[in-house]
Amino acid sequence: MDLGEIRIAIAGIGNCCSSLVQGINYYSKNDDETGLLHRDLGGYSINDIKIVAAFDISKEKVGKDLSEAIYSSPNQSIQKIHIPNLNVEVQMGLDLDKNNDDALNLIKRSDEKPVNVSEALQRTKADVLLNLISGGSDYSSKGYADAALESGCAFLNATPSTIASDPSIAKKFFNAGIPLAGDDLLDQIGATALHIGLLEFLLSRGVKVDESYQLDVGGGTESINTLEKTRDTKRDIKTSTVKSHVPYEFPLVSGSTDFVDFLKNSRDSFFWIKGTYFGGAQYTIDVKLSSIDSNNGGSVLIDVIRALKISKNRGFKGPITDICSYGFKKSSHVSLANSYNSFRKFVG
């Protein structure tokens, strides 16, 4: 049965957006399933996702077609395929947060007047608004959430800003009958997901974890934002998320440590675990993960976008627990396997 298209709007045309747009284009035209969690989900394929609106604040991107803007400075994601003109002009979005004048901040703000986001969402008949703006832009994230509420559009908050986990905002979406998901995207093979996976494996083998840390070093604008704006917030989220997967207290630190410009859109994550097993014998695990940061969100985002559309079709409202637990750090408090199984059951 043809369920129709999923019309999405994207706020924040950065590296993650670039990889997502390229991925949607690539997987829609090819049978390759490498890297996908689900090609088809609840009756929707990747081909059903259509981008209808885009918002950003950078003068390098505003006014350009999305197909060109995703490769504009300061983006550093690799151009793997040619994207044809999408007929989606990047509009001036919300800029409600105090300018950061730190030398590391690479965004040159556009002089254009912000558009009425709610009207743009209504005009384009968007089903889902995807929030991919810079971490730490809390007021702008809440502004986009308000625009989604006004327009009747489902909202997906991939940033660390507290949206879906804010009881007052969650209540507004519930009362308006609009589905919501967030906060802080749990990457496909990111540091948090791998750290949780390692700890869950050790617990399943009867092994005690005594101490552990996970630290990131990365390049690109998201690493800049983490260092400048959200370092403490991200560390708190990552640490509490990982801790919630172990049923006892132990010393744990999880977060970013520094920005290295020549790493560009890459990230190096370092894991260290110390503990005991049979007979009190000790062990240590020392692991390094190197990954392309922007590509880590694509597969999860494609799933969550479709799941929110399914939620909208079914009349679900407010934060959707099964989606939040599956795709976001602030809600990831059950095992990865259980959250996956609950998500699969939810989407049918």
> Residue 206 sits in a domain of what CATH number?
3.30.360.10
pLDDT of residue 104: 46
Q: Which amino acid is at 27?
A: Y
| Domain shared by 150 and 223, yes or no | no
Where on the phi/psi map is residue 220: left (φ > 0), alpha (ψ -120 to 50), or beta? left
Residue 267 lies in a domain: yes
Of 251, 277, 292, the residue at which a domain comes to its end is 292
Same domain, 288 and 300: no
Positions of the chain with pLDDT lower than 50, given as ranges: 101-104
Q: Number of folded domains in the chain? A: 2
What's the token pair of residue 104?
Answer: 């590391």
Residues 231 and 138 in one domain: no
* 175 and 39 within one domain: yes
**175, two tokens:** 């009362």
Q: What are phi and psi of 290, to 5 degrees?
A: -115, 130
Residue where a domain stops, chosen among 292, 313, 338: 292
Q: Are residues 202 and 269 in the same domain?
A: yes
Same domain, 219 and 113: no
Residues 267, 28, 129, 96, CA torsion sign: positive
| Residue 129, C-beta contacts closer than 8 angstroms, at least 6 positions apart | 8, 9, 10, 11, 121, 144, 147, 148, 151, 153, 154, 155, 156
Domain final residue, candidates 292, 310, 338: 292
Q: Mean pLDDT across the chain, nearest whole number?
A: 92
Report the CATH number that the domain containing residue 30 is assigned in CATH.
Answer: 3.40.50.720
Q: Give the domain range for residue 216.
A: 191-292
For residues 175 and 280, state if they share a domain. no
Is residue 99 located within the same domain as residue 224? no
Residue with tokens 């929707």: 44
* Whether 179 and 315 share a structural domain: yes
- Asked whether residue 231 is domain-assigned, the answer is yes
| pLDDT confidence of residue 103 | 41
Report pLDDT for 255. Answer: 84
Per the domain annotation, does 1 fall within a domain? no
For residue 44, tell me if it sits in a domain: yes
Same domain, 341 and 281: no
Q: Same domain, yes or no, for 250 and 275?
A: yes
In the prediction, which pLDDT does 226 show?
59
Same domain, 216 and 330: no
Q: Give the pTM.
A: 0.93
